[in-house]
A and B are shown apart, each in its own frame.
Chain A
Amino acid sequence: MASIFERIALVFKSKANKALDKYEDPRETLDYSYQKQLELLQNVRRGVADVATSRKRVELQANKMSSEVDRLQSAAQRALESNREDLAREALTRKAGLQEQLVDLQAQHAQLQAEEEKLVRASSRLQAKVDAFRTRKETIKATYSAAEAQTRINEAFTGISEEMNDIGLAIQRAEDKTLQLQARASAVDELLASGALDDPTGTVRDDITRELDALAADSSIESELAAMKAQLTGGPAARPELQAAPEAPGHGEGQA
């Protein structure tokens, strides 16, 4: 097991060597590197927070979308009860489209969650290594002259430098991914806000809702009328067919 992975390892080594070459007194490298480590640790923590924010946002969107799905399901149910198969079909079509987006959101959510967990672990790893580095740095500075310290500094520096490069790359990638997902999340937010989520033109769903509301109003008026008539004629049991009529298929037109 070698080739590709040795070559990738070389990338890390060369970066460490280049950084080492910059200093006259190798002990300076230690202090400078330690500063950099602290900065990186801050970046990692910010990265974790960013990913968590994105994850929560996607979570909220998924919840909203899921209740949209439920709403359309019951709209379809209502439409069918009112004998409007066309509207029911429309609502179910919308629902199917929405469910696709929901699956997509859920996949994004899983991705972000995995990313977040990885960064949290990376952050704790880096913290432990930064602490270990500080101890080593102080020992080296207290014990060795600049000339004597060289080897030990190289050891300490290349190890931590590899760690930093790796985490630096991980943070970079997490940021890239988060940005991509955020762009998509913004698009979904806009759709949710415009109420056109389930239809690009934003008109058809309004029709469904309006028609269903109209039907609902009709039927509630009908049932109120039925109830009043029943009271007048002496009890609801006397005229049961009036209340049952709107639900019976085939009689819808007659009622309206």
Chain B
Amino acid sequence: MIVRIMGQGQWVMAPEHLLELNELDRALEGAVEAGDEPAMLDALMKLIDGVQRLGTEVPEDVIVESDLVLPDTDVSLEEVRALLESTSEFYGLIPDADDELNESGEAADL
């Protein structure tokens, strides 16, 4: 899996490492839904730290597409929401779409 941290570059993650970060992913999602910016930033910071610690940075001269994209730590809740809303053209703004994505995503991780 290739993970991009916006503005910072890309990291290669082994599947077991991604699983390790799952808990944080859920915390972050919950925080975004609850509109809790400090909790969101806290989870995001830990996630980014985890990716950088466990992953291997993609060399500068390698061009590769990412499977996952994480916002940078200086992002605001509004900006994360705006990013998510721009994906609504694929999924609409139906709350169920989140769960659907969640399941398919977890299946892909395993």
* A contact residues vs B (CB 8 Å cutoff): 1-14, 118, 121-122, 124-125, 128-129, 131-133, 136, 155-156, 158-160, 162-163, 166-167, 169-170, 173
Residues of B within 8 A of A129 (CB): 60-63
Q: Per-residue CB proximity of B55-90 to A under 8 Å, as 1/0?
A: 000001111111111111010000010011011011
Is B14 part of the binding interface, using a Cβ–Cβ cutoff of 8 Å?
no
Q: Number of B interface residues at 8 Å Cβ cutoff, please give it.
A: 46
The answer on a CB contact under 8 Å between A166 and B29 is no
Residues of A within 8 A of B108 (CB): 2
Residues of B within 8 A of A8 (CB): 68-71, 83-84, 87
- A-B contacts besides A5-B69, A7-B101, 16 pairs, CB < 8 Å: A1-B24, A1-B109, A2-B101, A3-B105, A5-B68, A5-B70, A9-B4, A9-B69, A12-B69, A121-B9, A132-B62, A155-B65, A159-B63, A163-B63, A166-B7, A169-B6
Can you name the residue of chain A whose Cβ is closest to the Cβ of B7? A170
Can you name the residue of chain A whose Cβ is closest to the Cβ of B70? A5
Question: Roughly how many angstroms separate A11 CA and B68 CA in the complex, as a whole number?
Answer: 11
> Sorted from nearest, which 4 A-B pairs have the closest CB atoms?
A2-B105, A128-B60, A159-B63, A5-B68
Can you name the residue of chain A whose Cβ is closest to the Cβ of B22? A1
Q: Per-residue CB proximity of B15-57 to A under 8 Å, as 1/0?
A: 0001101101100110010000000000000010000000000
Residues of A within 8 A of B74 (CB): 173
Known contacts A124-B60, A129-B60, A129-B63: A6-B105 contact under CB 8 Å: yes
Distance to closest chain B CB from A9 (angstroms): 4
Known contacts A6-B68, A11-B87, A159-B63: A169-B7 contact under CB 8 Å: yes
Question: Roughly how many angstroms separate A133 CA and B109 CA in the complex, as a whole number?
Answer: 30
The answer on a CB contact under 8 Å between B63 and A132 is yes
Residues of B within 8 A of A173 (CB): 7, 74
The answer on a CB contact under 8 Å between B63 and A125 is no
Known contacts A1-B22, A118-B7: A132-B61 contact under CB 8 Å: yes
Across the interface, A133 reaches (CB within 8 A) one of B4, B60, B63, B89, namely B63
The answer on a CB contact under 8 Å between A10 and B87 is yes
Across the interface, B25 reaches (CB within 8 A) one of A2, A128, A158, namely A2
Interface centre among A125, A128, A131, A166 (most CB of B within 10 A): A166
The answer on a CB contact under 8 Å between A158 and B21 is no
Interface centre among B28, B63, B72 (most CB of A within 10 A): B63
Interface centre among B3, B69, B71, B109 (most CB of A within 10 A): B69
Question: Roughly how many angstroms separate A4 CA and B26 CA in the complex, as a whole number?
Answer: 9
A-B contact pairs, 5 of them (CB 8 A): A6-B105, A8-B70, A8-B71, A132-B62, A159-B64
Question: Roughly how many angstroms separate A124 CA and B9 CA in the complex, as a whole number?
Answer: 11
Residues of B within 8 A of A158 (CB): 65
Question: Roughly how many angstroms separate A195 CA and B65 CA in the complex, as a whole number?
Answer: 55
